[in-house]
């Protein structure tokens, strides 16, 4: 709910500035097909290896919108297993994204699931490429380690 409100405020600011995004470029750079929410003037991509009921809150997504002081901004939520957290934080920060939260939603979950919120502002190419790099690195990691670890090696 808070993210939707924030995106609505950002979108209202961007719309007032007359900023429009090249959504085809976002698709090309992220390798994912997004969907435009015209009401919020935000373009959202999702990275989910399997379909999860929405009520569980287990979706990885990034939403792009125009920005007032730069070409675009991105906000998103990345679902991670505990053994993916360090990699995800490193890749996001090294690529210029900011982390606004790392938390979990569930008690006694196994494997442990965390939610890492990302955000950034800059060129569309940089933001979309950074999100793509994050998702690609997580996919590579999970391909090598198909079962989430629950202890330090």
In this structure, the number of other CB atoms found within 10 A of the CB of residue 37 comes to 16
Give the mean pLDDT of the chain: 84
In this model, does residue 74 exceed pLDDT 70?
A: yes
Give CA separation, 92 vs 29, 77, 109, in Å: 16, 12, 25
pLDDT on residue 92? 98
Which residues have a Cβ under 8 Å from the Cβ of 126 and sit 6 or more positions away?
96, 120
Q: Does domain 2-144 have CATH number 3.30.70?
A: yes
By the 10 Å C-beta count (0-12 exposed, 13-18 middle, 19+ buried), 51 is classed as: exposed
| pLDDT tens digits for range 77-119 | 999 999 999 999 999 999 999 999 999 988 888 889 999 999 9
In this structure, the number of other CB atoms found within 10 A of the CB of residue 110 comes to 9
Dist. CA 137–CA 83, nearest whole Å = 13
User: In the chain, where are the structural domains located?
Assistant: 2-144
């Amino acid at each position: 709910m808070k993210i939707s409100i924030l995106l609505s405020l950002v979108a209202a600011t961007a719309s007032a500035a007359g900023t429009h995004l090249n959504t085809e470029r976002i698709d090309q750079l992220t390798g994912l097909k997004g969907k435009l929410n015209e009401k919020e003037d935000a373009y959202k991509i999702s990275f989910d290896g399997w379909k999860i009921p929405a009520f569980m809150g287990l979706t990885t997504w990034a939403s792009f919108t125009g920005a007032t002081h730069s070409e675009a901004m991105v906000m998103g939520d990345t679902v991670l297993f505990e053994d993916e957290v360090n990699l995800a934080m490193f890749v996001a920060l090294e690529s210029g994204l900011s982390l606004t939260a790392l938390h979990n939603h569930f008690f006694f979950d196994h494997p442990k699931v965390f939610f890492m919120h990302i955000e950034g502002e800059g060129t569309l190419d940089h933001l979309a490429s950074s999100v793509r790099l994050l998702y690609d690195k997580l996919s590579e990691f999970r391909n090598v380690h198909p079962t989430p670890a629950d202890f330090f090696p």
